[in-house]
Amino acid sequence: MEMAAEDLAINVSGMVKHFGPITAVNGIDLQVQKGEICGFLGPNGSGKTTFIRMLCGLLSPNGGEGTCLGYNVIHESEAIKRKVGYMTQRFSFYEDLSIIENLDFVARMYGIKNRLQSVHESLENLGLTKRKNQLAGTLSGGWKQRLSLAACLIHKPELLLLDEPTAGVDPKARREFWEEIHRLAEQGLTFLIATHYMDEAERCHSLAFLLYGNLIAHGTVDEVMKKSGKTNLEEVFIHFMSKAEKENLDK
């Protein structure tokens, strides 16, 4: 059933990005409903990060159209940036600043009113209060992940774009992270999450598979498995990769 435009956090079509002769994103259409957790799957180099950066206004598309949170992805990227939280693959905060200093810095960048209150709420919500004075560079992977998520949420975004947020994090921290993701989604927050972990993909409401810049499957977990004729997501992943590689060789 086709969803109304006002029910979609992401509604884009024909998105294209070239880097010289290389086409990183090749005419992608994607719709993600508000409050949905969409898993973004694909091997390294498939175009996931490029697509995410186009959505949040960090890269300009070479083609395509549509909206992100109701704003035009081509002409209103600055408005989109203020409504989106983006968590990069690598830890991107100042390691010689404490947790609270990093969050205060982010709050200042967004020009948040009642800044100190927002910082302390973020510390509390992500369980960081007891560690607030610890230097970011001394944190373990799981705690760095919490700091990154707290910073993404401090300006109260409507959409979170998370690029492999649990890479290199222990299983306990990954589980706790996903529990937090589902809690936030129940409150109406929308997620597009790039991941290589199939157990994480199974916890998503929908999945989008990218290969060589092309969207080759999009739907619920059951719909994607049915399309591939496989019984688990690891087999689905291998199936789509093998199929795409064969098609590339045949060209």
Radius of gyration of the chain (CA): 18
Q: Band the pLDDT of 89: cuts 50, 70, 90.
A: confident
CATH number of 5-83+158-250: 3.40.50.300
Instruction: Give me the pLDDT at residue 9, please.
Output: 96
Q: Band the pLDDT of 247: cuts 50, 70, 90.
A: low
- Which residues pair with residue 191 across a beta bridge? 37, 160
Instruction: Give me the pLDDT at residue 117, please.
Output: 93
Q: What is the pLDDT averaged over residues 1-20?
A: 87
Looking at 144-246, which runs of residues are DSSP E strands? 159-163, 190-194, 206-211, 214-219
Tokens found for residue 186: 């129940």
Taking the domains of the chain in order of start, what are their residue ranges?
A: 5-83+158-250, 93-156
Q: What is the pLDDT averaged over residues 44-72?
A: 93
Tokens found for residue 54: 């186009």
Query: Model pTM?
Result: 0.90
